[in-house]
């Protein structure tokens, strides 16, 4: 089985801050996102790109899934961002504000050109697509299926609500539709679904409620903007002892049924169906990836 890369948390680190870039590796996030976009002033784009390139190239954190978020697809910085990002060889490139599958295909083609020119393995760099508008949400499935490189869609709630002229709230009802659109698209395409940022870094109780809903809906992880959010989100997305025990019992019951040639298998008075088996396998894979002995 291929290694499971946990994506419970993806933490942004500003490319404009050397201190932020260096400190970010010491937290417990699964995915470290070196940012060249929103957190970088226009006057520092070139400097940030150079810093991020050299950091990944020569001081890459060994225990993180490393991502570079580039500037917008139609920005004046995108060509240089992609050139540097591909040559730095992160695990993935995160594309902001994707609205159409054609945009993903163009980025894929450009990355392939750079890989070939640089003598790098073609296709090794994955793509995360940020869905940050009503158009992105409406086209989420096409975006998720636009390229074999796409491994995740991530919802951006602030820009999404702005595109609707909606008010962003902690309760999040205004993004409920987008959450389900992104999640459904991800499941249809077989990629991972990353939920939106909870912006109030001082409201731990609010974050706990928000991430509980996120997990209940079926998301695989959440973007975080501050290190103090990492452990809360990781804990929510890490299978607990009760979940692990139940998953093991499901698979043991299925194995026992197969051994005696039993077609229908029950557990605790209920039928075990294929979705239950799939969830059990995912639970155990996630637990193992988190370092839990199962």
Question: pTM for the complete prediction?
Answer: 0.87
Q: Domains of the chain (ranges plus CATH)?
A: 9-237 (3.20.20.60), 241-289 (no CATH)
Dist CA 8 CA 221 (whole Å): 4
Provide the b/e sequence for 95-108 (b: ≥16 CB within 10 Å): bbbbbebebbeebb
Q: Interhelix angle for 101-118 vs 78-88, to 10°?
A: 50
Closest CA to 177 of 125, 140, 147: 140
What tens-digit pLDDT sequence spans the chain (294 residues)? 345 578 999 999 999 999 999 999 999 999 999 999 999 999 999 999 999 999 999 999 988 999 999 999 999 999 999 999 999 999 999 999 999 999 999 999 999 999 999 999 999 999 999 999 999 999 999 999 999 999 999 999 999 999 999 999 999 999 999 999 999 999 999 999 999 999 999 999 999 999 999 999 999 999 999 999 999 999 999 877 777 787 788 787 777 777 777 767 777 777 777 777 777 787 777 777 667 777
């Amino acid at each position: 089985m291929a290694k499971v890369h946990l994506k419970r948390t993806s933490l942004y680190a500003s490319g404009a801050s050397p201190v932020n870039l260096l400190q970010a590796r010491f937290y417990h996030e699964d995915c470290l996102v070196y940012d060249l976009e929103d957190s970088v002033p226009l006057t520092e784009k070139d400097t940030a790109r150079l810093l991020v390139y050299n950091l990944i190239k020569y001081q890459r954190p060994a225990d993180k899934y490393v991502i570079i978020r580039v500037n917008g697809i139609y920005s004046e910085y995108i060509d240089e961002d992609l050139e540097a990002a591909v040559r730095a060889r992160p695990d993935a490139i995160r594309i902001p504000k994707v609205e159409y599958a054609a945009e993903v295909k163009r980025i894929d083609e450009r990355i392939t050109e750079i890989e070939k020119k640089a003598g790098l393995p073609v296709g090794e760099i994955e793509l995360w697509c940020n869905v940050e508008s009503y158009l992105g949400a409406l086209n989420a499935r096409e975006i998720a299926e636009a390229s074999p490189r796409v491994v995740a869609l991530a919802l951006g709630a602030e820009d999404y609500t702005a595109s609707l002229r909606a008010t962003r709230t902690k309760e999040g009802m205004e993004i409920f539709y987008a959450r389900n659109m992104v999640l459904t698209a991800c499941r249809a395409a077989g990629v991972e679904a990353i939920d939106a940022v909870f912006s109030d870094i001082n409201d731990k109780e609010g974050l706990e409620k928000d991430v509980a809903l996120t997990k209940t809906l079926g998301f695989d992880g959440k973007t975080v903007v501050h290190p103090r959010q990492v452990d809360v989100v990781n804990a929510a997305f890490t299978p607990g002892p009760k979940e692990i025990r139940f998953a093991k019992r499901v698979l043991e019951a299925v194995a026992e049924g197969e051994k005696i040639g039993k077609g229908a298998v029950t557990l605790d008075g209920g039928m075990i169906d294929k979705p239950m088996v799939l969830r059990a396998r995912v639970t155990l894979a996630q637990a193992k990836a988190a370092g839990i002995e199962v």
